[in-house]
Structure 1
Amino acid sequence: MKTTHVITLISRIRERANKLIEKELQNQGLEGMVASHGALLSALYKNNGKLTMKEIATAIERDKSTVTELVNKLMLYGYVEKVKDIEDGRVTHILLTVKGVNAKGKFDAVSKKLLNTVYCDVSQDERELLIGILERLKDNLA
């Protein structure tokens, strides 16, 4: 087995996963949403629909400019809104809108489809081993 093309292989997996995600998002009628919005929405869903820009950047491991771009796009389609902190005007909170909250079921269906497809013939032990190795590879590049 060739082991020198690990990064290329990971890249190809990501490309295929993104294609599947975007197809399923479209099938679910999630207007304007693309694969890159998933981590941001997931972070909001896990935190009662409200985080600061800084908290989002930390949660999804992206820089502030990337988070700003993602938030602006989600605002454009009505999934989130920005609200200035009452006590500290320098802080901006990102909140899920009603549309964003209502999209959770469809978003979860897309995630489930992706994971079922990826892991269709992979045992639980193999999954855990794979995740452990991928985490180590990520840490090696930190």
Structure 2
Amino acid sequence: MTIEIEYAETIIVWVHYRDKWNWYVTDKELWFLDLIKYEQAFIDAGYELHNQGDFSDRFDIPIVNRQTAADFIEHIEEFKVTTNQLSKFLLKEPNKEEIDKYKPVLFVDFDTETLISSFPEPASYEEYVPENWESVYKDFLEDVPTNERYWVIGGKSYF
């Protein structure tokens, strides 16, 4: 893995795209799928944006949806991790009080156009999804197939 997991800064995301399931550990800012809506929320709140419309921090992709997913996924390929890698990181955590940083906080399904967020800090990923997407804030750990639950090791759940 090329990135350290830091609570509320880097996040673990479960992605479904073209019938494939993958885990990613990335900067949290990448996952506001509709940056145009995200920018507008700041403008509506009275903030001035100095680089409005500049989406270069996210590979010049203003809206990540089914049509742009292939390009987005290609750009974040280096942040893909396996279930086994995540289990090993979880087991190596010396401070068990910080175990929450290893919880997956987003589930993005490009095939069904769904986003589920359980991000514990104020961010509201579910408010900034592309048009016609379903989104909700809820825990989705039970929705993850048993063989992908990296937090269950030797029959014991670390969460």
Q: TM-score, normalised by structure 1?
A: 0.26
| Bigger fraction of residues in helix | 1
**For the pair shown, which has the larger CA radius of gyration, 1 or 2?**
1
Q: TM-score, normalised by structure 2?
A: 0.25
